């Protein structure tokens, strides 16, 4: 991938420069993170970010937390406020979007040695108390990725279009992937940190569906737990109104599904065209590599490319629903993937 293409797919050079500034600014504090990193993307959230950070728990399920806030191109005092309230702040000079900011935050979390990542938003819509219920299944090794669900929990909005949109997109993703999903756009989630380095994340803004379909496609164990979403009380949505939001979200669902389908198909084709002995050797090598690379440090290498490949070659055959739907993706976007610990789904 050329550097121009890398920038088009989300800005590897921007990520690298920001990560290097972050490392220089925080030194050991950024390199020796506690087990749980809470990652927040924030854009012009000066009035909201402080109370959000203050309300976050110092530990979740007994594990200490650190908060990483990725601000990009904000024109207000978001970065300063976040820092003043104790977060580690990565202040990127250009605005790229929530997806790019989260991807960078995941990378910083992995490179700092965090074992688990929890995401939330800067606008106070999510209840910090829900984080525990999301992390528990990951710690219990029942899931690799747990998203909150307003459909299983509660929501304050009375906007019928929003409500319908969430249910429609949930049904679409469930149908396309074979994994039952009830809320594909919930911003509070918990996951094993390395999962974020093992999937391809190239959406600059609307990452939620790409992340969710990516982890399902990667054969990771996905679960949902009831959670709450409130109305935004401070500031306004950065993502446009319902119709625009809906159209873009739909585009990401279909685009990601198509991409992952192609990828799995290509892996399946390689297996079909190999002799059984070659295919077995390749799978054994994949398994060995996965066993040896299933740590945060290695996973970060994939994300360093700005786009990471989440469809572990050896996992294609282990991801039944996606094996049926897969088709391909440009080779230059691929990096050595990380295999899921199991294809079991919850
Ligand atoms: N760093 C960064 N963060 C962003 C950007 N756009 C949105 N965000 C953050 O992403 C989070 C979600 O953005 P919102 O605008 O609330 O979007 P949403 O919650 O998906 O949708 P709403 O229901 O309309 O609020 C907030 O913390 C925003 O500050 C961006 O361009 N850069
Ligand atoms: Mg919001």
Ligand 2 centre distance from Cα of residue 336 (Å): 34
Q: List the CATH code of the domain at 3-258.
A: 3.90.550.10
More confident residue, 241 or 289: 241
Question: Which has the higher per-residue pLDDT, 336 or 346?
Answer: 346
Chain segment 99-155, per-residue pLDDT in tens: 999 999 999 999 999 999 999 999 999 999 999 999 999 999 999 999 999 999 999
Q: What does the pLDDT average to over 333-346?
A: 37
Ligand with the closest atom to the CA of 239? 1
Strand partners, 91: 71
CB of 72 closer than 6 angstroms to any ligand 1 atom:
yes
Rounded distance from Cα 187 to ligand 1 centre (Å): 9
Q: Determine the longest span between alpha carbons in the chain, in angstroms.
A: 61
Q: Is the pLDDT of residue 191 over 90?
A: yes
Q: Which residue has the tokens 């702040």?
A: 89
Q: Does any ligand 1 atom lie closer than 6 A to the CB of residue 41?
A: yes
Are 226 and 149 in contact, with CB atoms under 8 Å apart? Answer: yes
* pLDDT, greater one: 290 or 255: 255
192: pLDDT strictly greater than 90: yes
- What distance in angstroms lies between residue 19's CA and the mean position of ligand 2's atoms? 25
Cβ neighbours of residue 249 closer than 8 Å, sequence gap 6 or more: 165, 169, 185, 206, 208, 209
Contact yes or no for 195/215 (Cβ under 8 A): yes
Rg of the chain's alpha carbons, rounded to an integer?
Answer: 19
Q: Which of 41, 106, 157, 252 to mutate to test the pocket of ligand 1 (most atoms within 8 A of CB)?
A: 41
SS3 call for 222:
strand
Closest ligand 1 atom to Cα of 237: 15
Listed by start position, the domains of the chain span 3-258
pLDDT at 269: 72
CB-side neighbour CA atoms (13 Å) of 180? 5
pLDDT at position 277 is: 64
- The total of other beta-carbon atoms located within 10 Å of residue 246's CB is 17
Using the predicted structure, report yes or no on whether residue 29 has a pLDDT greater than 90.
yes
Highest mean pLDDT among 4-8, 151-155, 295-299, 318-322: 151-155
Q: Which atom of ligand 1 is nearest to the CA of 45?
A: 29
Distance CA 98, CA 262 (A): 26
How high is the pLDDT of residue 240?
73
pLDDT at 70 > cutoff 90: yes
Ligand 1 pocket, 121 CB below 6 A? yes
Is the pLDDT reported for residue 281 higher than 90?
A: no
Atom of ligand 1 nearest to the CA of 162: 23
Q: Is 238 in the pocket of ligand 1 (CB under 6 A)?
A: yes
The bound ligand whose nearest atom lies closest to the alpha carbon of 244 is: 1
Would you say residue 32 has pLDDT above 70? yes
Cβ-contact 218, 299 below 8 angstroms: no
Is the model's pLDDT at 89 over the cut of 60? yes
pLDDT of residue 112: 98
**Residue 239 confidence (pLDDT) above 80:** no
The residue ranking higher by pLDDT, 312 or 123, is 123
pLDDT for 339: 42
φ/ψ (deg, to 5) at 143: -155, 155
Question: For the chain, how far is it from start to end, CA to CA, in angstroms?
Answer: 36
* 217 close to ligand 1 (CB < 6 Angstrom): no
> Collapsing DSSP states into helix, strand and coil, what is residue 226?
strand
Model pLDDT, residue 276: 60
Question: Mean pLDDT, the chain, as a whole number?
Answer: 82
Q: Inform me whether the pLDDT recorded for 51 exceeds 90.
A: yes
Question: Could you tell me if the CB of 42 is within 6 A of ligand 1?
Answer: yes
Torsion over CA: 110, 112, 113, 115 (sign) = negative
Lowest mean pLDDT among 59-73, 87-101, 254-268: 254-268
pLDDT, residue 65, reads 98
pLDDT of 265 strictly over 50: yes
Q: How far apart are CA 12 and CA 9, in angstroms?
A: 8
């Amino acid at each position: 991938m050329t550097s121009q293409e890398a920038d088009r797919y989300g800005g590897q050079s921007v990520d690298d420069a920001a990560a290097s500034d972050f490392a220089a600014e925080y030194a050991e504090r950024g390199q020796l993170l506690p087990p749980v990193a809470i990652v927040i993307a924030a854009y012009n959230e000066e009035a909201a970010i402080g109370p959000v950070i203050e309300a976050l728990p110092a530990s979740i399920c007994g594990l200490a937390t650190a908060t990483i806030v990725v601000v990009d191109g904000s024109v207000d005092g978001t970065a300063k406020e976040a820092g003043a309230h104790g977060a580690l702040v990565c202040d990127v000079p250009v605005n790229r979007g929530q997806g790019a900011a989260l991807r960078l935050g995941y990378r910083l979390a992995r490179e700092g040695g965090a074992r688990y990542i929890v995401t939330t938003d800067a606008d106070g819509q999510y209840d910090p108390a829900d984080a525990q219920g999301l992390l528990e299944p990951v710690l219990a090794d029942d899931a690799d990725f747990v998203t909150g669900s307003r459909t299983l929990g509660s929501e304050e909005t009375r906007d019928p279009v929003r409500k319908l949109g969430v249910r429609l997109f949930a049904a679409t993703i469930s149908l396309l992937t074979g994994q039952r999903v009830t809320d594909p756009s919930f911003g509070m989630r918990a996951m094993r940190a390395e999962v974020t380095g093992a999937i391809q994340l190239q959406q600059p803004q609307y990452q939620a569906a790409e992340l969710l379909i990516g982890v399902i496609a990667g054969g990771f164990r996905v679960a949902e737990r009831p959670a709450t979403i409130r109305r935004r009380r401070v500031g306004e949505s950065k993502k446009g109104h319902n119709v625009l939001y809906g159209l873009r979200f739909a585009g990401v669902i279909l685009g990601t599904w198509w991409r992952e389908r192609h990828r799995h198909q290509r892996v399946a084709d390689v297996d079909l065209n190999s002799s059984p002995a070659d295919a077995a050797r390749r799978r054994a090598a994949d398994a060995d590599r996965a066993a040896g690379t299933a740590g945060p440090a290695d996973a970060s290498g994939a994300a360093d490319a700005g786009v990471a490949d989440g469809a572990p070659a050896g996992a294609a055959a282990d991801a039944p629903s996606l094996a049926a739907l897969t088709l391909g993706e440009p080779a230059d976007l691929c990096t050595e993937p990380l295999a899921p610990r199991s294809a079991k789904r919850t």
